Structure 1
């Protein structure tokens, strides 16, 4: 009975070019990879600083595995809170200039746990429609009234916050710092001002800005000189590890220790992963040239795309996420496969990850890319677009 219910759904996804298939990576997750048995250059990961394959990070994890074992064996409030976890939290807080930080098993668990802990019935959450799915699901699961506003529409934010204030609701304004599929940066100064005027708290998920933006790599909040009450980020992108964290006041973190169910009731992350995160964070602090190299690569891609007549999203020119809209789901898959045949791995992004009619290639740059690889991708893109059997809609 169950299979009979599920099989037609899978058939429908296949018929609409929305079926998803995993590719198998053999070996390191780096710029040069072996994927499904073939060599390629990776332009679709979130390893913005190339630290996922950095031997210093791997060595820190290996040493910790030998010293403390493979697992934490329990939740942080029972037996799972290791000295490596505490040290990482302290170092993250120091790096961000915040009183405290709290480590979660994943970025998803962080957003779900924070939103459900902070909000409940009678409260309000005002959020950008293009926020990450974990923010959307956390807002919905909280039980608060949910105002989902049009992307980057400051007037819509203001109206929703004013209504929440009129209704005497406690409100949290929630936004990505860097939007994961579009690459644009939220107008955090304007959002902070709106939140302040309405008495709302500002929560920023800076998963794609942390380690990448700002003079010291503190993220979009540093870049735009804003201090949100709640700052969330991950270790799985610029730090090349795994896990998520929230940074904020002493009161906020102690409250979450008591109330964030995805933290309270989850096994703590392996201590060795925390050790790897600490090593990666030390590299971010000590080697600003990694960020400089990343931004040089972003400029190389943007300038090269313009020279070749490829479309550039001007909102994303300062981040490593470069979307190339193809609009049609089947054509996005075609283009991705054509690029793979030429040795470049770029994923096709389709609904529900992005809104219907906005299928795209999500091209991501890393500090580990070489100019020649970027130029090769740009040439392959121009040639592959011309090779599509139908107009690609740009």
Structure 2
């Protein structure tokens, strides 16, 4: 029960145990009615114990019990489920949710390029030429020109020698870190790093240490104390942290990695298309060279309006991943329509820099208005992601539902994704949002919070 006592919906450990017991009793009654009541058979002392039926049932997995607690807690408190809302059509500054048009803040469509006529047409043309799938891994099925064009464009954005595209952003971090590093190595990461990085470290078998969020001085102390114990060392940070909307002082991390002979990896999933005058990311924002960072990682599903992830860096890194990383070597290549969509999105972004500039202006405007109304926006620096902290999961879910009633769609982030006291609504800003939409939204948040 220890894991369940951390703070789900602010309920006490006893309350959660009661909910679990209620769920189990309901399921046992249902199983008994079907002639399949659960039994646990134990052999007499001294004899081999029979394996419990529970060990081959998915509904007995600990993680599933946690899901039951969440569902039952919501039912007991009469809270509608805010997740998996049905969107009909393209999700941009507005979206049709359950048949009603809403102001939408739950999309990564930062530059309003998903659904852009040129981007959609590029994907359609790629279907006509290449089909909907390349049907095998690229070493097996061969290359498509559009795949290499996209990788060259990504390398150019990062000032890198080359890039390689994967079919999943999450899998990009998992397979790259998991393959490049091993048990003799150390990976140091920001305390708020994405799950995909943690999964990659676990796969690698490397020793893992976290440092307090954006605290480069704490990182330096860790390296001074522990660097000598390991062979290779990797430092991982994000360009923009998707839960909080802030960013690291990247030049400090570059300096530290050089002095301590470590690799530096930057996950730019939420900063490409957002930071920098042209949307080229955190390196452009700080004016540093692409070669100053060893591993650039990004995703294609946000500003680039496609799907997948990529790594950019020196040629040796990219060749190594393309020929040996399991997540590339044994996985199907990115479909041509997705590659074409992302490549065209990059071209539009470069030709229309006003999209990046307007995104930054709208993001700052949202942050300023939210602060004026006394909302707690946490660490947000006003780059595309602005959280509004609520103090509890229950309050975050209720606030999300209240806003939907007023024609505003935004998702809550609740425990265990964040600490219970840091539950929040997370607003993703688009260059397509208007100041009027932002004013309406911020006023609605403040009013709903007062009512709650």
The interval holding the TM-score normalised by the smaller chain is over 0.9
Instruction: Give the Cα–Cα distance (whole angstroms) in 2 for the partners of residues 210 and 282 of structure 1.
Output: 14
Instruction: Compute the displacement of 1:63 (Å).
Output: 1.0
1:327 paired residue among 391, 403, 424: 391
Give 1 or 2 for the bigger CA radius of gyration. Answer: 2
CA–CA distance in structure 2, aligned partners of residues 39 and 203 of structure 1:
40
- TM superposition shift of 1:145: 0.4
Equivalences for residues 6-155 of structure 1 within 5 A: 6=61, 8-16=65-73, 21-155=83-217
Structure 2: distance between partners of 1:285 and 1:384? 40
Q: Distance in 1 between matches of 2:107 and 2:164?
A: 25
Q: Could you tell me whether the CA contact under 8 Å between 1:128 and 1:175 is conserved in 2?
A: yes
Take 2:341 and 2:230, find their aligned partners in 1: how far apart are those partners? 45
Q: Could you tell me how far apart the structure 2 residues matched to 1:162 and 1:258 are?
A: 35
Residues 338 and 20 of structure 1, relative CA distance in 2, 3 Å threshold: closer
2:180 and 2:73 mapped to 1: Cα distance? Answer: 39
- How far apart, in 2, do the equivalents of 1:232 and 1:253 lie? 12
- The TM-score normalised by the length of structure 1 is 0.94
**Is the counterpart of residue 376 in structure 1 residue 440 in structure 2?**
yes
Provide the residue aligned with 1:259 in structure 2: 324
Instruction: Find the partner of 2:425 among 358, 361, 371.
Output: 361
What is the DSSP-based 3-state SS (H/G/I as helix, E as strand, rest coil) of the residue aligned with 2:114?
helix
Cα RMSD of the aligned pairs, angstroms, is 1.7
Per the alignment, residue 450 of structure 2 pairs with 386
Residue 310 of structure 1 and its aligned partner are, at CA, apart by 2.4
Say if 2:286 is the partner of 1:221: no
Distance 1:331 1:171 in 2: 41
- Give the alignment partner of residue 211 of structure 1, picking from 273, 287, 297: 273
Q: For the residues of structure 1 that align with 2:399 and 2:115, how far apart are their CA atoms?
A: 28
Structure-2 separation of matches of 1:362 and 1:250: 37
Task: Report Cα offsets for 1:40-80 as digits up to 9, x if no partner.
Answer: 11112111111112111011101111111111100011105
Q: 2 CA distance for matches of 1:249 and 1:9?
A: 44
Q: What is the 5 A alignment of 1:288-367? A: 288-313=353-378, 315-367=379-431
Structure 1 consecutive aligned stretches of length 4 or more whose deviation exceeds 4 Å: 15-20
Please give the TM-score of this superposition, normalised by the length of structure 2: 0.82
Deviation at 1:347, TM superposition (A): 0.5
Could you say if the C-alpha distance between residues 32 and 84 of structure 1 is closer, same or farther in structure 2, counting changes exceeding 3 Å? Answer: same
Alpha-carbon contact 1:161-1:200 (below 8 Å) kept: no
Aligned residues: 387
CA contact (8 A) 1:75 1:81 kept: no
* CA 1:326–1:123: 2 relative to 1, 3 Å: same
Unaligned runs of 5+ in 1: 389-394
Task: Give deviations 1:312-361, integer Å, cap 9, x for gaps.
Answer: 44x42331100111120111000000000000001000123223421001
Q: Is the 8 A contact 2:83 2:411 kept in 1?
A: no
* Alpha-carbon contact 2:186-2:230 (below 8 Å) kept: no
* Corresponding residue to 1:197 among 240, 245, 259: 259
After superposition, the C-alpha distances for 1:356-380 in whole angstroms (9 at most, x for unaligned) are 4210010111001111111111111
Offset of 1:185 from its aligned partner?
A: 0.5
